[in-house]
Amino acid sequence: MNVIETEGLTRRYGDRTVVDGLDFRVRKGSVHALLGPNGSGKTTTVRMLSTLLRPTSGQARVLGFDTVVDAVRVRQRIGSVGQFHSVDPRLTGAENLTMFARLSGMRARVARRHARDLLERFDLADAADQRVQNYSGGMRRRLDILAGTVVRPAVLFLDEPTTGLDPRSRNDIFGYILNFVAAGTTVVLTTQYLDEAERLADAITILDGGRTVATGTPAEITAAVGAGLDLVVTSADRGRAVELLTGFGAREVGSTAVQEDSIRLSFGLDEEPELLPILRALDADGIDVHDIGRRRASLDEAFLALTERTTAS
């Protein structure tokens, strides 16, 4: 069952179309990541889905309700955490959450208890009575997410939940998100971190220039982009090896030094390469191959290939 469905969802600012005819579906209980370079329309899409922004044309339904006609019903059932802090820095963590719980209709005593419970469960009990202005970035982001989820929402929208955080705080937030999912919440998140999408998402939509360039599971997306090839050669042969592989339709996507004088070159290809002709050509050119291997394309390669292709066209 889909909890989100969009048809031709479009947003223009003046004569600029920043979200251009999006059609996508989000399955109940899944984590769906919207990925894309800066300015590709991720935030605008999430703002439309969470009723904060009206589409210029097209429509979106969340839990069966139209985000414009039935905006109030949508709002009652979703949680939304934007890129900017929603909590009040002059209040304590407990006061902030109590306030959000009261705003969602809880009675004062119940709200206070609920706020304490949440802070306890999400490792912020020690900081419950400190003013938020003294919190670290990671603590504050966690509190933000709690504020957006005081009442467990059926659908949770998170706009770049871990941008700027250290690895430990990011891990904590991944844990939270998976907690919500385990409890039945569907999550839509935007991210610029491919590892985040790979770790959390059941499905990914890659946006570029306001359009969908790929959608599917991480495995489907990487398979659609093609294959990868790793080649270890002497550093001095690098230029010639890259030139030769380019002749086979490979794109260089990265390199790492292996030892003092050898280098691992990584290539992306549209299709699974045949190694024998490549090895013969390298040999004929006098290039010493230390190691060669095929691998699946990574999500990084998929992202670069897909977003480059549309930018170039």
Ligand X SMILES: Nc1ncnc2c1ncn2[C@@H]1O[C@H](COP(=O)(O)OP(=O)(O)OP(=O)(O)O)[C@@H](O)[C@H]1O
Q: Which residue, 195 or 274, is less far from ligand X as judged by CB?
A: 195
**Which single residue is written with the structure tokens 């066209």?**
313
Residues 133, 138, 143: CA angle, nearest 5 degrees = 65
Q: Which residue, 68 or 110, is less far from ligand X as judged by CB?
A: 68
Q: For residue 205, give Cα distances in angstroms to 40, 50, 82, 163, 214.
A: 12, 17, 19, 19, 6
Q: In 3D, which of 221, 211, 190 has the Cα closest to residue 31?
A: 190
For ligand X, the binding residue among 6, 26, 30, 41 (CB under 6 A) is 41
Task: By CB under 6 A, tell whether 39 contacts ligand X.
Answer: yes
Q: Which residue, 94 or 194, is less far from ligand X as judged by CB?
A: 194
Task: By CB under 6 A, tell whether 194 contacts ligand X.
Answer: no
Contact, 5 vs 60, CB < 8 A?
A: yes
Q: Which among 40-48, 96-104, 249-257, 279-287 is the span making contact with ligand X, rule CB under 6 A?
A: 40-48
Q: Which among 42-50, 99-107, 168-176, 229-237 is the span making contact with ligand X, rule CB under 6 A?
A: 42-50
Contact, 292 vs 231, CB < 8 A?
A: yes
Contact, 60 vs 49, CB < 8 A?
A: yes
Q: Which residue, 87 or 189, is less far from ligand X as judged by CB?
A: 189
For ligand X, the binding residue among 32, 42, 114, 170 (CB under 6 A) is 42
Q: With CB under 6 A, what is the number of residues at the site for ligand X?
A: 11
Q: Which residue, 42 or 170, is less far from ligand X as judged by CB?
A: 42
Rounded CA separation 287/238 (Å): 9
For ligand X, the binding residue among 36, 148, 226, 268 (CB under 6 A) is 36
**Rule CB under 6 A: which of 110-169 touch ligand X?**
none
The residues, ordered by sequence, that sit 6+ positions from 305 with a Cβ below 8 Å of its Cβ are 225, 226, 251, 268, 297
For ligand X, the binding residue among 6, 40, 80, 222 (CB under 6 A) is 40
The pattern of x and - marking residues 4 through 23 that bind ligand X according to CB under 6 A reads: ---------x----x-----
Q: Which residue, 8 or 39, is less far from ligand X as judged by CB?
A: 39
Task: By CB under 6 A, tell whether 43 contacts ligand X.
Answer: yes
For ligand X, the binding residue among 38, 107, 276, 286 (CB under 6 A) is 38
Residues that bind ligand X (CB under 6 A): 13, 18, 36, 38-44, 192
